[in-house]
């Protein structure tokens, strides 16, 4: 949902966290739109909250592609603002597409770029073993890798 009057050359793209949806950024998007920024919140497709039940998150590359499409639409100078899962995806966006279209990135309680290995160790899953939401469910994690 883009808004604002483009007074600022820096559009803001807000990326949801793992246990949220795009609506979690709505107040922030409206605030910055009021300050003259074009703003957009991105709802990752295939991942949503429905009656407090989460589906498994699609592969990271699919989410990175969604960010790439949104950044392409907003244009150069975009600032990514991302929470949790969104921060991980923002870092992967830079890994896959570079940072030339961005002017900045703000990460709020983000997963680190090597979260997959960290979560593997936490779940006691050895390399080569299946690693999915079931592997991580023992400590309440829905899985993204």
Q: What is the pLDDT of residues 79-131, one digit of tens each?
A: 999 998 899 899 999 999 999 999 999 999 887 766 666 665 555 666 666 65
Give yes or no for a contact between 58 and 85, defined as CB atoms under 8 angstroms apart: no
Q: Helix, strand or coil for residue 89?
A: helix
This prediction has a pTM of 0.73
Checking if the pLDDT of 139 tops 50, the result is no
Q: Is position 85 within any domain?
A: yes
Kindly state whether residues 26 and 48 are assigned to the same domain.
Answer: yes
* Domain housing 48: 12-112
Claim to verify: residue 108 and residue 118 sit in the same structural domain = no
| Same domain for 78 and 131 | no
Question: Does 1 reside within a domain?
Answer: no
96 lies in the same domain as 130? no
pLDDT in the model for residue 7: 64
Same domain assignment for residues 90 and 105? yes
What pLDDT score was predicted for residue 61? Answer: 87
Q: Are residues 37 and 82 in the same domain?
A: yes
Average the pLDDT over 35-42 and give the result.
94
- What are the tens digits of pLDDT across the range 61-85? 889 999 999 999 999 999 999 998 8
For residue 3, is it within any domain? no
CA 144 – CA 120 distance, rounded (Å): 11
Contact 66, 93 (CB under 8 A): no
For residue 17, tell me if it sits in a domain: yes
State percent of the chain over pLDDT 70.
63
Task: Classify residue 44: in a domain, yes or no.
Answer: yes
Number of compact structural domains in the chain = 2
Angle at CA of residue 92, ends 86 and 96, nearest 5° = 140
In a domain, residue 55? The reply is yes
């Amino acid at each position: 949902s883009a808004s604002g009057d483009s007074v600022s050359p820096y559009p803001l793209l807000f990326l949801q966290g793992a246990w949220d949806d795009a609506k979690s950024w709505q107040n922030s998007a409206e605030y910055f739109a009021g300050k003259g920024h074009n703003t957009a919140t991105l709802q990752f497709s295939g991942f949503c909250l429905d009656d407090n039940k989460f589906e498994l998150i699609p592969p990271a590359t699919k989410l990175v592609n969604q960010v790439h499409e949104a950044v392409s639409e907003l244009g150069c100078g975009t600032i990514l603002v991302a929470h949790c899962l969104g921060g991980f995806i923002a870092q992967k966006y830079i890994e896959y597409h570079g940072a030339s279209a961005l002017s900045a990135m703000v990460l709020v309680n983000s997963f680190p770029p090597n979260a997959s290995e960290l979560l593997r160790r936490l779940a006691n899953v050895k390399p080569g073993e299946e690693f999915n939401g079931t592997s991580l469910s023992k400590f309440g994690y829905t899985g993204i890798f």
